[in-house]
DNA sequence: TGAAACTAGATATGAAGTATAACTATTATT
DNA sequence: AATAATAGTTATACTTCATATCTAGTTTCA
């Protein structure tokens, strides 16, 4: 019910002012929303974020090998295996033997995989546009540039 | 096909052009770097991202209850318990009984906790500044505003 | 050539984060 | 008083992510 009756050992409203000074804090919270949203959009396609990313990469780079894909997506090889199992069982990609190296598999999208990737991408684009709520392109590019700077900025010293 | 001997089943360089169109893709990659970096900085203090966040919130909102903190940090109550156990065992916070409600605990920082939070915050600030590599304040605020828009933008209406 | 080192993909496993149900003890409702 | 609701906790399970190891195949080079 609540008249604001202040008790010495309680707090009426919680402030996160100290954390709000960090970009990381905002990014983490935004990522949580974005990820939940994206997974909700992808669910009707039978995809999750990782499987979607992997599928799109295979569509865009047909013939690439698993190690290349793992490297590009920055995920460990063992973890990629189950992701590709999922895509393969869904009939979206194939693992084709490479004649020149019998250890390796070339990843290729099926027609079904290409079609699904296209539809899922359209849905994602629409959803992200909705989430950004009419952000102008200049701002959007600026945000992306900032993300790229953070991603590449482990060593720190470039300006 | 002309150029250098194209093998039908292999790919020379991997392109992520299709994914680079999404802000979420860049954010996820940037978050991975940022999180690794932050945890590295916090390790000497015996803290992780969540324990640091919780500690700072307790310092800033002394007397708050666990449910409030869980809500503020968007983590589930059961998961907060072990985080607070960690902070309490490290002597950084105390769980004090609330006289008006014997079910509840008021969270308060110890002197040690306040000092550690201050030092860790300074270290985090320095590290984030390094990671942003001299990004100007206007851009920084713009990025934060964009993150806030995403975070609040589940329904789509902007503020 | 052939042994050693290396690579591609797969398997097994464990740590960490996250979500849900249910328990206890208290408090609020009727 | 009986019932419902709440604060914190426990138990548990599921997902993500990382490491070590295995196999099969390839490369190196003495």
pLDDT of B3 reads 30
If phi > 0 it is left, if psi is from -120 to 50 it is alpha, else beta; for residue A49 that is alpha
DSSP code, position A45: G
The average pLDDT across A88-94 equals 97
Mean pLDDT (whole number) for B146-157: 73
Protein-covered nucleotides on strand C (Cβ within 7 A): 7-13, 16-22, 25-29
pLDDT at B90 over 50: yes
Contacts with B125 (C-beta within 8 Å, 6 or more apart), sequence order? A21, A22
Residue % of chain A over a pLDDT of 90: 82
Can you tell me the distance from the alpha carbon of B66 to that of A35, in angstroms, rounded to the nearest whole number? Answer: 26
Residue closest to D10, CA→C1'? B78
Is any Cβ of chain B less than 8 angstroms from the Cβ of A110? no
The answer to whether the C-beta of A52 is closer than 7 A to strand C is no
What residues of chain B lie within 8 A of the CB of A69, using their CB? Answer: 14
pLDDT confidence of residue A9: 57
Average of per-residue pLDDT across A6-35: 86
**Between residues B156 and B30, the one the model is more confident about:** B30
What was the pLDDT predicted at A81?
98
Q: What is the largest CA-CA distance in chain B?
A: 82
| Gap from A11 CA to chain B (nearest CA, Å) | 5
Nucleotide C22 C1' to residue B58 CA (A): 28
Say if residue B4's pLDDT is above 60.
Answer: no
Which pLDDT score, from 0 to 100, does residue A11 have? 82
DSSP-derived 3-state class of residue A144:
helix
Which nucleotide is at minimal CA–C1' distance from A98? Answer: C8
Q: Is the pLDDT of residue B105 over 80?
A: yes
Residues of A in contact with B54 (CB under 8 A): none
Residue A87 CA and nucleotide D21 C1' are separated, in Å, by: 26
What is the bridge-based pairing of β-strands B64-65 and A101-109?
unpaired
Residue A97 φ then ψ, to 5°: -65, 135
DSSP reduced 3-state for A62: coil
pTM of the model: 0.89
Cβ-Cβ contacts under 8 Å between A and B: the total is 222
Provide the pLDDT confidence category of residue A133 given band limits of 50, 70 and 90. confident
């Amino acid at each position: 019910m609540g008249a604001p009756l202040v008790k010495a050992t309680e707090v009426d409203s919680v402030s996160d002012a100290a954390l709000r000074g960090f970009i990381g804090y905002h990014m983490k919270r935004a990522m949580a929303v974005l990820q939940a949203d994206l997974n909700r959009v992808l669910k009707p396609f039978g995809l999750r974020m990782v499987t979607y990313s992997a599928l799109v990469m295979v569509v865009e780079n047909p013939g690439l090998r698993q190690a290349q894909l793992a490297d590009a997506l920055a995920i460990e090889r063992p973890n990629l295996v189950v992701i590709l199992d999922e895509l393969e069982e869904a009939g979206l990609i194939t693992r084709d033997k490479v004649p020149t190296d019998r250890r390796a598999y070339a990843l290729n999208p099926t027609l079904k995989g290409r079609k699904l990737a296209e539809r899922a991408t359209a849905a994602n684009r629409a959803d992200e546009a909705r989430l950004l709520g009419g952000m102008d392109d200049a701002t959007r590019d600026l945000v992306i540039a900032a993300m790229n700077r953070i991603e590449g900025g482990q060593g720190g010293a470039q300006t």
